[in-house]
Amino acid sequence: MIVAQVLKTKGSQVVSVRPGDSIASITRTLAQHRIGAVLVLEGEQVLGIVSERDIVRALAALGEAVMRMTAGQLMTRVLFTAGPASTIQDALQLMTDRRVRHLPVLHADGTLAGMVSIGDLVKARIAEAEDEAEALKSYVATAG
């Protein structure tokens, strides 16, 4: 299975913020949408990502002043991304290796196709394994 299939099921809508948005407003956005990360966009260009983990680490280091910072100040600028044709296994491996929980999905021209979380990919991988098991059971039952 490939990432494009996950996006087809999940949808390609991505919750995003602007570089000037405050961390206080971003925390409300994360809570409202029940998500763990938002992309920071300037028009169509992906500039970075702000995750719950980024906010918690900054709070531990800097205290409540973090809430007055902006997305542009706190965002992670080095993004690990997947393409729509990436396999789920490759995307999961990248997430494991880089210790990230969200991957922006970019088309070859750099435009945003969507975003997947580790939960999205694990769910898809489990469904894929269940389908394979059912196919094997059916094969064994009819082969005898």
Q: What is the CATH number of the domain that holds 120?
A: 3.10.580.10
pTM here is 0.85
pLDDT one-digit tens code per residue, 61-111: 999 999 999 999 999 999 999 999 999 999 999 999 999 999 999 999 999
Domain, as residue range, for 135: 3-143
Alpha helical stretches, state H, the chain: 3-10, 23-33, 52-62, 71-74, 88-98, 118-143
What count of other Cβ atoms lies within 10 Å of the Cβ of residue 120? 20
Number of domains forming the structure of the chain = 1
